Amino acid sequence: MPAERRVLVPASGFYEWRAVGKKKAARLFAVAGGEPFAFAGLWDVWGEGSPGKIVAACLVTTKPNPRWWPRSTTGCR
């Protein structure tokens, strides 16, 4: 992946969903003190120069690190 297609996506938190009975509940994860952090991401443009040009991006994810794991509900180990 070319370096120019990498991006940092700033955030103040993220949600993780878990089942509570037949409903789902959101749990907010944020850095103590409210400091921002960033997700690693990739982006690309499809149809450059056409009326249907699409700019797309995605976040790069992995298993939770030890800082998040004790509070995570994903079940990753």
Residue 16, domain extent = 3-71
Cα gap 37→67, rounded to integer Å: 13
d(CA 61, CA 68): 13
Is the model's pLDDT at 68 over the cut of 60? yes
**Whole-structure pTM over 0.85, yes or no?**
no
Q: What is the model's pLDDT at position 63?
A: 77
pLDDT tens sequence across 6-53? 999 999 998 888 888 899 998 888 888 889 999 999 999 988 788 888
Q: What is the structure's pLDDT at 76? A: 45
- Is the pLDDT at 75 greater than 60, yes or no? no
CA distances from residue 29 to 45, 61, 68 in whole angstroms, order as listed: 31, 15, 8
Flag whether 76 is in a domain. Answer: no
Residue 53 counted as domain residue: yes
Measure the CA–CA gap between 73 and 75, rounded to whole angstroms: 6
Residue 67 in any domain: the answer is: yes
